[in-house]
Structure 1
Amino acid sequence: MKRWMIWIALGALVVLTVWKLASNKRIVQERVYRHDKSAPVHVGVDTVRQALLGEGTRYSGTVEATHDGRVMAEVPGRVVALDVKEGEWVERGAVIARLDGELLRLQLEAAQVQVGGLEKDHARYTILAKADAVQAVQLEKTDVALEAARIQRDNLKEQLRRTTIVAPFSGQVVQLLVEVGTVLAPSMPVAQLTDHRAMELVLLVPASDRGRFRIGDALTVAASGTRSLVGTVSSVGDRGDGAHNFAVRIALASSTDDAIRPGMSASVQAPRKGEVPGAVIPANALIGSTLQPEVYVVQDGIAQRRTIVTTATSGGLVAVAEGLKPGDIVVTSGFISLADGMPVRYR
């Protein structure tokens, strides 16, 4: 009897163990992540641009902000408040500093009182002149005095408005050149403002090479320690400096990784005669082997795997001879869950 009870207990234990293992397997399977193939994959993208990646003559220059300048005081006064800090981004019209305008306010009040008195005199003399009670010359003198008083009042209003110093354009406060208590004269600098969202490379090229650059040419710009960018020649100087060099300005494509900043050195290759700009892409857009490079092209929100033919490589950029055209959108990151024909999402 006892032996049968032992066998029954062992059988129940085996059944319980099997049931528990099956239950654990089901729970684990439920917790395993399964990718929804219909859900868009988040990827990083870049646009195929047109540029030259040849080995022409290289020129070095300095990166400058398109909008860069000092904010100046327009009226004299003592700084009573600074509304920004160095490194802060400000929008156009934002207050940079405030000057003491108490004396101007008192002068404005006096001018307004004077205008009010002259307006009353003018109204009275107008009535008397119509009745021939005063000479017309008296009314004319009142007219002149009233006009002069109004001009003085408006002048004081404008001076008082200019005691509030504002940003002439949106940018970053690179340097504050005053502090609270500083007494300013007109045209004294208050702050250095730079808008690094739009930058350009400034080259000084000899007269013999000036003809290598044409407005609208797309060139590859390489900055120290950063990936290459595509720039477009925006202007070619018509007048040389004392060393007979001409200024060439190359507008840089916007950079979102803070890699390029004003004051950095950069270089560019001038196109050789007969060279034609072609499609270029970032090297991190390539997948597959070097013998058969491929990319993912985004069309109508769908990633399409495409074989391309590449030629030159320079500074993180790859020239494409076949398979892509300027304006195409290629995937540069997020390849792990990506496959041909899958929907994608990007910003």
Structure 2
Amino acid sequence: MKTKYIIYTLLALLIAFLLYNKFFSKKAKETGAATAGKGKKKNGPVAVNIMVVKDTAVRNQIDITGTIDANERVNLISQTAGNITGIFFTEGTRVAKGQLLVKVYNQDLQSSLQQVSAQMVLAKDINNRNKILYAKEAVSKEEYETSQSSLNAMKAQADVIRAQISRTEIRAPFSGTIGLRNVSPGGYLSPSTSIATLVNIDPAKVTFSVPERYLPIINKGSKITFTVESSRDNFNATVYAIEPALDANSRTITVRAKAPNPKGLLTAGAFAKINLTLDQIPKTIMVPTECVIPDLKSSKVYVYKNGVAVAKNVKTDLRTDTKIQIIDGLKAGDSIVVSGLIQIRPKSPLKILKVIK
């Protein structure tokens, strides 16, 4: 029995010795400290891309919207009433200036003109005879003047009838494309009836509004470029007219430009996206927009200097789709950080992966 207790005591002492050597001896403490040291990894440099800043030329442009208008547009109507005796155009085709489009009944006027013309021939003969007789003093001056006055009255009457006849013929006031007709042969045409619409779209007019502050820059002859939804082409136009007064509500001024349209790609009433070049800055600094970090009072960028990130406050101005103008805070030759900005803090060590040109 005593032997059994002795064995248990020796086993307990052995286990206690092993535990002490593993966790509490000097060697165990040194091993733990080494392990803990390995777990603490020192922060390394942030991998970034940089861009060397340089002076560049940039155009000061604004994007605005406008409307495509026809160069000339008219709703064709008749100046006189009557039955339509002829329609001489095809819908949707081009017509020339002066071309006969619609004719209204005018036989009664034609007959009146023939009657007056016949009377005018007789009156002319009588006036010629009286002129000869008056020269020979065979008739009085009063008889000669009476025959001359009668002839002039008949000429005036014939001119009136011809004017009435011309109003029964509707002709194209300018060359262009005629639209859908609203009348038919034999129908009654009144001055309030719309016949069709005539449009001249070459050149096309582009109407748009510009904020008041840009007024000193917009002049006759200014160039604009624009696009429309119906075409992938870029179109050019030249400003030819500017409204003399500002709109009191929007504080904008209306501008109109002309764009060549020989292929008919521009349609009246279309929506135009306009790019207007205000001026050109010959020397300035443009950087990618993502480089600039907005702050409460200003903006800042990070510059690579001596292996670390240096924060610099900057002033910005113009913006494009991808770049922003720096007017103060940077100079040509500075190396600006363009990636990894989320991980960077002032004085953070940097590792350059790529230099963007």
Q: TM-score, normalised by structure 2?
A: 0.55
Q: Where do 1:123-138 residues align within 5 Å?
A: 123-130=128-135, 132-138=137-143
> Matches of 2:112 and 2:102 in 1, distance apart?
22
Q: 1:211 to 1:255 in 2, by over 3 A?
A: farther
Gaps of 5+ in 2: 1-56, 283-319, 323-357
Q: Is the 8 A contact 2:59 2:280 kept in 1?
A: no
Gaps of 5+ in 1: 1-51, 277-311, 315-347
> Matches of 1:114 and 1:206 in 2, distance apart?
68
Q: Is the 8 A contact 2:68 2:204 kept in 1?
A: yes
Q: Which of 266, 270, 274 pairs up with 1:268?
A: 274
Which residue number corresponds to residue 10 of structure 1? Answer: none
Which residue number corresponds to residue 112 of structure 1? Answer: 117
Q: Is 1:232 matched with 2:238?
A: yes
Which residue number corresponds to residue 290 of structure 2? Answer: none
Q: Aligned Cα RMSD in Å?
A: 3.1
Q: Which of 124, 134, 158 pairs up with 1:153?
A: 158
Q: 1:232 to 1:134 in 2, by over 3 A?
A: closer
Deviations 1:254-301 (A, max 9, x none): 363x5421110012133344458xxxxxxxxxxxxxxxxxxxxxxxxx
> Matches of 1:53 and 1:184 in 2, distance apart?
60
Q: Is the 8 A contact 1:213 1:270 kept in 2?
A: no
Deviations 1:185-219 (A, max 9, x none): 55864321112231121113343333342222222
Q: Where do 1:279-318 residues align within 5 Å?
A: none
Q: Is the 8 A contact 1:213 1:271 kept in 2?
A: no
Identity of aligned residues (%): 22
Q: Is 1:178 matched with 2:183?
A: yes
96-105 vs 70-79, which moves further: 70-79
Which residue number corresponds to residue 255 of structure 2? Answer: 248
Which residue number corresponds to residue 62 of structure 2? Answer: 57
- The one-letter code of the counterpart of 1:248 is V
Q: Which has the larger radius of gyration?
A: 2
> Matches of 2:230 and 2:132 in 1, distance apart?
82
> Matches of 1:179 and 1:270 in 2, distance apart?
47
- The one-letter code of the counterpart of 2:254 is A
Deviations 1:116-155 (A, max 9, x none): 2212322343344345444321221111111111121123
Q: Is the 8 A contact 1:53 1:313 kept in 2?
A: no
Q: 1:53 to 1:122 in 2, by over 3 A?
A: farther
Q: Which of 200, 204, 214 pairs up with 1:199?
A: 204
Compute the displacement of 1:173 (Å): 0.8
Q: 1:106 to 1:242 in 2, by over 3 A?
A: farther
Q: 1:123 to 1:155 in 2, by over 3 A?
A: same
- The one-letter code of the counterpart of 1:100 is Y
SS in structure 1 of the partner of residue 71 of structure 2: strand
Compute the displacement of 1:245 (Å): 4.0
- The one-letter code of the counterpart of 2:156 is I
> Matches of 1:155 and 1:183 in 2, distance apart?
23
> Matches of 2:209 and 2:164 in 1, distance apart?
42
Q: Is the 8 A contact 1:75 1:163 kept in 2?
A: yes
Q: Is 1:99 matched with 2:121?
A: no
- The one-letter code of the counterpart of 2:126 is D
> Matches of 1:129 and 1:232 in 2, distance apart?
67
183-192 vs 228-237, which moves further: 183-192
Compute the displacement of 1:61 (Å): 1.3
> Matches of 1:269 and 1:65 in 2, distance apart?
20
- The one-letter code of the counterpart of 2:244 is D
- The one-letter code of the counterpart of 1:247 is T
115-124 vs 241-250, which moves further: 241-250
Which residue number corresponds to residue 325 of structure 1? Answer: none
Q: How many residues align?
A: 227
Q: 1:167 to 1:225 in 2, by over 3 A?
A: closer
Which residue number corresponds to residue 335 of structure 2? Answer: none
